[in-house]
Amino acid sequence: MNWYKIAQIEDYFLSNGECDGLTVRSEVPNTSSISSSLNKWEEVSGIRNIPIEEFNLTGKSYSVSEDKRIEALTEQIRLSKEINPLIVVKDRDGLYILEGSHRADALFRLGIRYIPALIVIDKDEN
């Protein structure tokens, strides 16, 4: 059995346009980063709400300019109560954020428990 068939993606609930009190926008930005980063992949249907503890987030950056960017996103999300979905990859080692790490750090700072994301399964076994 292939490892990617044991992904248990169904454990991550489909978003119904809402995630932990935020409105989830329908647009997934920068989907071109998928083909730029992966050779063989499969998109999981729908936007899934993934527990934030699946990722090793701190909400901090070691760069002052990046920290300011995260702070600005945090404030923007707090005021708008809206978020664009992230892109998360499931590979043989687990999950990682392909697109939206600054948004993820902002969600961490806001105490949000779930990250809305398009999940992509990396099917390249090389």
Which of 104, 32, 92 shows the shortest CA–CA distance to 66? 104
Q: What is the pLDDT of residues 79-107, one digit of tens each?
A: 999 999 999 999 988 899 999 999 999 99
Domains along the sequence of the chain with CATH? 11-122 (3.90.1530)
Written as six digits, the tokens of 84 are: 């664009």
Asked if pLDDT for residue 124 goes beyond 80, the answer is yes
**Whether pLDDT at 10 is above 80:** no
Please name which of 124, 123, 117 lies closest in space to residue 84, comparing C-alpha atoms.
117
DSSP strand pairing (114-122 vs 86-91):
parallel
Q: Which amino acid is at 90?
A: K
Question: Cα 97–16–5 angle (5° rounding)?
Answer: 50
* Tens of pLDDT, residues 13-42: 778 899 999 999 999 999 999 999 999 999
